[in-house]
Amino acid sequence: MAGKVVIFGVGLIGGSFALALKAAGAAGTIVGVGRSPQAMARALELGIVDAVAASVQDAMRGADLVLIATPVAQTQAILASLLPYLEPRTVVTDAGSTKSDVVAAARAALGERVGQFVPGHPIAGRESNGPDAAIPDLYIGKKAVLTPLPENEPADVERVASAWRACGAVIHQLSPQEHDKVFAAVSHLPHLLAYALVDDIANKPHAGLLFQYAASGFRDFTRIAGSSPEMWRDISLANRDALLGELDAYLAQLTGLRAALAAADGARLERVYANAQRARRQWSDAIEAAEAPPQDTAE
Amino acid sequence: MAGKVVIFGVGLIGGSFALALKAAGAAGTIVGVGRSPQAMARALELGIVDAVAASVQDAMRGADLVLIATPVAQTQAILASLLPYLEPRTVVTDAGSTKSDVVAAARAALGERVGQFVPGHPIAGRESNGPDAAIPDLYIGKKAVLTPLPENEPADVERVASAWRACGAVIHQLSPQEHDKVFAAVSHLPHLLAYALVDDIANKPHAGLLFQYAASGFRDFTRIAGSSPEMWRDISLANRDALLGELDAYLAQLTGLRAALAAADGARLERVYANAQRARRQWSDAIEAAEAPPQDTAE
């Protein structure tokens, strides 16, 4: 149970964290901090936060747990702004989609106090944003990945883990580098590819005709191209090295498939398609098994 | 109203066509033809067809409308097999995902009788296959694209259109070349890209770790990689020229994005992402408006 919880950014991610902690009775007071007075007023009105802080100093006084749930590019400035008021009792965490850059930002901003910062990333989302999109069950059954630093006290890591567990999340740990490599492959690259396809089609002279015949396969494939361009610009840049590595591997794969197609090498195309189908089905079955409710194993 | 309808291939597409015609009372007798005795028996058992033909000759006797709903690579052999029994009254159509190759196959198989073949492509599908996947409302509100030949009689084109309309579909007409160019962009390329990504990930040494963290964005982006490898091998080869053109345009787009990422050109990344997001939203809004029930415009 965290006493005073401070949340920077009470949109979908920060707001859902607040609602989940409240639903679990796992927080005393929840205080919001943000740049938009309208969003903060809305978060107060919706009961997401108990109070809106008048200043960072005010927010940080007596804080037990701080969550930074803003676009990742703002993390360093926020950490620098709270450092003068960071009490020894306070643990700070974040919800950013990239971790190596956040760790670098934390080291730059917090210096020798970086041990009080436990980097994190909840793997959950919705297509909508802002305080109105926040829901208390966003994290139930989802993964919350922590990427602890050598400087972190185990008790501080546990305090963050325990808050996410109260929200219903399952805790995983990776190094920041592992985290970024994994998400470059399974999240950041697919976003770039989906944006690239829709932009490519939209720029063709007969785009109207093309969109007219796009159907459900296209809809699912491009759903992530409906995501925030600013947020994904920041993620792409923040995880540039890992994303470039994944993009280069994918370009090599496409170049190989192009050659197979040009040579009418149906056997090679089918091998790639069949391997993908098998892997996709195994993954999908494993996910369904993991998310199924526990079964009574007695007859 | 078609009297005797013959369907080659009573899986998802052919079976749903049969069930929809029956539900609309738009067919007299429906006869199935297929290579798998099990599938034909199942189609009979499910009430999809009224009879299973003992031979192609038997099936074609007195047929008004014939639908070929098999993988496209089989079209030419099926047309050649039915030609000796093709009565002047009979109109033949197909449901293949590519049209230029089907037209070439029809010309090769039917020769001067090609005017009795009206090429078609219903834009509908589900993830499952076979007779058990067939449902009567698969085509409701969906597009059925016809790509008529100069040799087709307007009355024969109308007979095919009218059958699809009875199934609930909305008729569109394109030339075979237009059709293939459009679907290369909005369907065939996305399938290839999704297969390529999953195969690429599955072949990495740390594939297990990667799949463990794949979430809902990955699930939607790769859903079409769960499709039949054989079917998509055939489509890729059948529409090779148009698909190579789209793949080359996409590779050029990715190469440009790679350069922007390597140069940390956030403004360019954001322009592409934002253009894609805007186009995706416009498309999505237009689809929703088109599929919404008619509104009473009176106050």
Transcribe B34-79 into DSSP letters.
-S-HHHHHHHHHTTS-SEE-SSHHHHHTT-SEEEE-S-GGGHHHHH
Separation of CA B132 from chain center: 18
Q: Are A269 and B233 in contact (CB < 8 Å)?
A: yes
- Give B291's pLDDT tier (boundaries 50, 70, 90): low
- Give A288's pLDDT tier (boundaries 50, 70, 90): confident
**Inter-residue contact A18 to A29 (CB < 8 Å):** no
- Give B1's pLDDT tier (boundaries 50, 70, 90): low
Closest Cβ–Cβ partner in B217, B234, B273 for A229: B273
Does residue A206 sit in helix, strand or coil?
coil
Closest residue in B to A206 (Cα–Cα): B182
Q: Are B247 and A254 in contact (CB < 8 Å)?
A: yes
Q: Are A199 and B272 in contact (CB < 8 Å)?
A: yes
Contacts of B264 in chain A (CB under 8 A): 237, 240
Closest Cβ–Cβ partner in B194, B201, B279 for A202: B279
Closest Cβ–Cβ partner in A193, A207, A225 for B193: A193
Contacts of A183 in chain B (CB under 8 A): 213
Which residues are CB-contacts of B114 (< 8 A; sequence separation ≥ 6)?
B106, B107, B149, B151
Q: How far apart are CA A212 and CA B170, in angstroms?
A: 13
The pLDDT > 70 percentage for chain A reads 97
Closest Cβ–Cβ partner in B183, B236, B262 for A213: B183
Q: How far apart are CA B20 and CA B26, in angstroms?
A: 8
Average confidence (pLDDT) over B159-172:
98
Contacts of A214 in chain B (CB under 8 A): 186-187, 283
Closest Cβ–Cβ partner in A218, A233, A254 for B187: A218
Q: Are B253 and A200 in contact (CB < 8 Å)?
A: yes
Chain B nearest-CA distance from A29, in A, is 32
Kindly state the DSSP code that residue B133 receives in the 8-state scheme. Answer: G
> Is the pLDDT assigned to residue B186 strictly greater than 90?
yes
Of the two residues A231 and B138, the one the predictor is more confident about is B138
Q: Are A215 and B283 in contact (CB < 8 Å)?
A: no
Dmax over Cα atoms in chain A, in whole Å? 68
Q: What is the mean pLDDT of chain A?
A: 94
- Give A297's pLDDT tier (boundaries 50, 70, 90): very low
| Of A14-23, B94-103, B125-134, B152-161, minimum mean pLDDT range | B125-134
Contacts of B283 in chain A (CB under 8 A): 211, 214
> Is the pLDDT assigned to residue B296 strictly greater than 60?
no
- Give A13's pLDDT tier (boundaries 50, 70, 90): very high
- Give A191's pLDDT tier (boundaries 50, 70, 90): very high
Average confidence (pLDDT) over A239-254:
97
Q: Are A226 and B279 in contact (CB < 8 Å)?
A: no
Q: Are A240 and B261 in contact (CB < 8 Å)?
A: yes
- Give A296's pLDDT tier (boundaries 50, 70, 90): very low
> Is the pLDDT assigned to residue B295 strictly greater than 80?
no
Contacts of B226 in chain A (CB under 8 A): 277, 280-281, 284
Domains belonging to chain B, first-starting first, are 2-174 (3.40.50.720), 178-291 (1.10.3660.10)
The pLDDT > 90 percentage for chain B reads 89
Interface test with A, best of B139, B145, B221 (most A CBs within 10 A): B221
Interface test with B, best of A179, A213, A251 (most B CBs within 10 A): A213
Q: How many CB atoms neighbour CB B259 within 10 A?
A: 11
Contacts of B193 in chain A (CB under 8 A): 193, 197, 221, 254
The H or E element containing residue A237 is: helix A229-238
Q: What is the pLDDT of residue B289?
A: 76
Helix axes A100-110, A229-238, angle to 10 degrees: 80
Contacts of B249 in chain A (CB under 8 A): 200, 204
Chain A nearest-CA distance from B112, in A, is 30
Q: How far apart are CA B122 and CA B10, in angstroms?
A: 15
| Of A294-298, B40-44, B282-286, minimum mean pLDDT range | A294-298
- Give A289's pLDDT tier (boundaries 50, 70, 90): confident
- Give B298's pLDDT tier (boundaries 50, 70, 90): very low
Q: What is the pLDDT of residue A1?
A: 66
Q: What is the pLDDT of residue A48?
A: 97
pLDDT tens column, B106-126:
999 999 999 999 999 999 987
Between chain A and chain B, the number of residue pairs with CB atoms below 8 A apart is 285
> Is the pLDDT assigned to residue A259 strictly greater than 70?
yes
Return the closest-CA partner of residue A225 out of A202, A197, A195.
A195
Chain B nearest-CA distance from A199, in A, is 4
Q: Are B213 and A237 in contact (CB < 8 Å)?
A: no
Q: What is the pLDDT of residue B22?
A: 97
Kindly state the DSSP code that residue A68 receives in the 8-state scheme. Answer: E
> Is the pLDDT assigned to residue B299 strictly greater than 90?
no
Closest residue in B to A172 (Cα–Cα): B213
Average confidence (pLDDT) over A40-56:
96
Q: Are B192 and A257 in contact (CB < 8 Å)?
A: yes
Q: What is the pLDDT of residue A291?
A: 64
Q: What is the pLDDT of residue B267?
A: 97
Q: Are A194 and B264 in contact (CB < 8 Å)?
A: no
> Is the pLDDT assigned to residue B93 strictly greater than 50?
yes
Chain A nearest-CA distance from B289, in A, is 13
Chain A nearest-CA distance from B4, in A, is 31
Q: Are B280 and A222 in contact (CB < 8 Å)?
A: yes
Alpha helices for chain B (secondary structure H): 12-23, 37-45, 56-60, 75-82, 100-110, 154-166, 176-183, 189-202, 207-213, 216-221, 229-238, 240-262, 266-291
Measured at the alpha carbon of residue A106, what is the angle toward residues A101 and A107, in degrees to the nearest 5? 100
pLDDT tens column, A67-110:
999 988 899 999 999 999 999 999 999 999 999 999 999 999 99
> Is the pLDDT assigned to residue B138 strictly greater than 60?
yes
Closest Cβ–Cβ partner in B226, B250, B270 for A280: B226
Which residues are CB-contacts of A32 (< 8 A; sequence separation ≥ 6)?
A6, A7, A10, A14, A18, A40, A43, A44, A48, A49, A51, A52, A53
Which residues are CB-contacts of B189 (< 8 A; sequence separation ≥ 6)?
A197, B243, B246, B247, B250
Contacts of A233 in chain B (CB under 8 A): 266, 269-270, 273
**Inter-residue contact A120 to A146 (CB < 8 Å):** yes
Contacts of A243 in chain B (CB under 8 A): 261
pLDDT tens column, B55-79:
999 999 999 999 999 988 899 999 9
Average confidence (pLDDT) over A47-64:
97
Contacts of A227 in chain B (CB under 8 A): 277
Q: How far apart are CA B102 and CA B118, in angstroms?
A: 10
